[in-house]
Amino acid sequence: MSKPLQGIRVVELGTHIAVPLAARTLADWGAEVIKIEPPNGEPWRPMGKAYGVPARSDHNPLFQTPNMNKQSILINLKSAAGLEAMHKLLAGADIFLTNTRPGALSKLGFSYEALQEKYPRLIYAHFGGYGPEGPDRDRPGFDIAAYWSRTGIPLEWTLAGNIPLKPQGGFGDATCGALLTSGLLAALFGREKTGKGEFLQISLYGAALWFNNCGVVTYQPQYKMNYPRTVADMKNPHSLLYKSKDGDWFLISIPDWDAHYAKLLTMLGLEKYISDERFQGIANFLKNPGPVIDILQKEGYGLIGTRDLEERLVKADFVSQRLFHPSEVLKDEQAWANGYLKEITLEDGEKVALPANPVNFASFREDYALAPQLGADTRAVLKKLGYSDAEVDEMLANGAVK
């Protein structure tokens, strides 16, 4: 079946997750994605070791998700022949995306300004840590620093006295990859109208502020919100998590407390408090939130078993969710039923479950080709560019490619 991006060529000079994941998404939807790697491979290839999982050439699960459905070519961009091959790739490309630092790109002659005149239809996307301007524009940034820590999220999402949140690696990068993908698609659409390329820039820091928009608003001093918050700072009895009798945590979201508090108290067997003015509306709750929260936990949720509580919440049609342990996610029937998890077989024959692209098209099904081995497509890509076998052999011999 035809995919919407068939005929689009993408050249990725990217590392880690955000840029490679954006390119992987385009590949899923039909684009030809050529991943440019340095002679030793991009730094995410061995990163599984830092997470306690294998990072062998025949078993590298962490490398798979950002890099499936691509081709890999190893080019030494410090060699004249390597630079020439890179320019031939760009001459036939629709999209070039990279997170290489601007200074290094300029030295190689791959700044946007240098490429704009040569390839006027090229869509050029650059991803960085803190943005192209300002005092920190040249600082390196992983998502744990520029995305999470710089925007206040680990403290905002933690109650006072608790350990600050430490998110799983790559989570912020992945959100940036999604935002970058949307920008690239908009640029492709715009080029259909104008015939001209585009320059996109996105950063970890800027994306984090965008995605944490509710937090950014409430940080502002005129709203008098304290961070990290305490129980007394809660504006709704269900801005907190509650524990069942069995010790499982539950999230119950009831934004309109005034309309639903009686239904909730009845569900919890706390009808005697329906006439208690402390429960009758958010205004009364805010006068002294501590006792209300205490009653809900100790006399309500804390006396109900996990399964019983889940059934009651579903029956009452409240937005709720028991907090899963990570080990439960891979057994979740809901994920498998919707194809959000896929089992793949790695090169050594072992199977691993990976998250799947969650955007499902009615007109085609996703293909899942394993991430390319290091430089596996070097010869094939160069021959497609017009190089002969002898010329490729010469480039291999002099180290221009590998």
Structural tokens at position 129: 């840590």
CA 280, CA 262: separation in Å to the nearest integer? 8
CA 165, CA 142: separation in Å to the nearest integer? 16
Q: Catalytic residue among 28, 143, 173, 248, which? A: 173
Q: Is there a catalytic annotation at residue 173?
A: yes
DSSP 299: I
> At residue 94, what is the residue type?
D
Terminal alpha carbon distance of the chain? 34
Report the candidate in 279, 298, 299 with the shortest Cα–Cα distance to residue 287. 279
- Structure-token match 């239809």, residue found: 121
For the chain, how are helix, strand and coil distributed in percent, rounded to 5? 45, 15, 40
Q: CB of 350 within 8 A of CB of 59?
A: yes
- State which H helix or E strand residue 214 sits in: helix 213-219
Considering only CA atoms, give the Rg of the chain: 26
| Parallel/antiparallel/unpaired status of strands 341-345 and 71-74 | unpaired
Q: Annotated catalytic sites, by residue? A: 173
